[in-house]
Amino acid sequence: AALSQHCAELGYDGIDINMGCPDQSAVKGGGGAGMIRTPELAYEIIVAAKTSGLPVSVKTRLGYTYVDEWRDWLGGLLRQDIAVLTIHLRTKKEMSKVAAHYELVSDIIALRDDIAPHTLLTINGDIENRAAGLDLVQKYPGIDGIMIGRGVFHDPFCFEASASASTNTENTTSMPIAASDETR
């Protein structure tokens, strides 16, 4: 709560809480993806962060160990009335060793629409460039943005609109595309 208030005093526009970082140094202390194991504490942190009046967003993973953890975990986060939920479509255990679970995107959108339709939904995982992200947005209506992680290491220009010439230019200007701080 104190940090949130300090951020507001400094003129920040919002607070983004990373509850998906798989780095062992974060997880060992209960942070990052370790928050998935303590959902009640995670919710308390969100409530405290919101005391400043700044919008709060959360970046996370589907679960800690098992993919089927996603419904309870993401549903709990959505019940916290957050501004944006960014989901890395893998578990902490999976890291980036398996393909992102795009088969769940439609169900995740439906869960968001049921619990918190005002929460923006951003997805992350295996998105190499802007064109690939825009293709996903067209394939899964209801996604509000995409996040590119490791793709930026393969191509530092992956955010350029010219890389998505085959997609609808109307979508290229309205969808937020962000870089992930996570490289795993």
Can you say whether the dihedral through the CA atoms of 10, 15, 21, 24 is positive or negative?
positive
Could you say which of 21, 42, 123, 136 is catalytic? Answer: 21
Query: Are the CB atoms for 19 and 181 separated by under 8 Å?
Result: no
- Sequence-distant (6+) residues with CB within 8 A of 94 are 67
What does the DSSP assignment read for 72-106? HHHHHHHTT--SEEEEESS-TTTTTSS---GGGHH
What are the percentages of helix, strand and coil residues in the chain, rounded to 5? 45, 15, 40
- Sequence-distant (6+) residues with CB within 8 A of 75 are 111, 115
Longest distance between any two alpha carbons in the chain, whole Å: 47
The upper half-sphere exposure of residue 95, i.e. CA atoms within 13 Å in the direction of its Cβ, equals 6
Question: How many other β-carbons are positioned within 10 Å of the β-carbon of residue 102?
Answer: 14
Q: Examine the residue annotation and report whether 158 is marked as an active-site residue of this protein.
A: no
What residues are labeled active site?
21
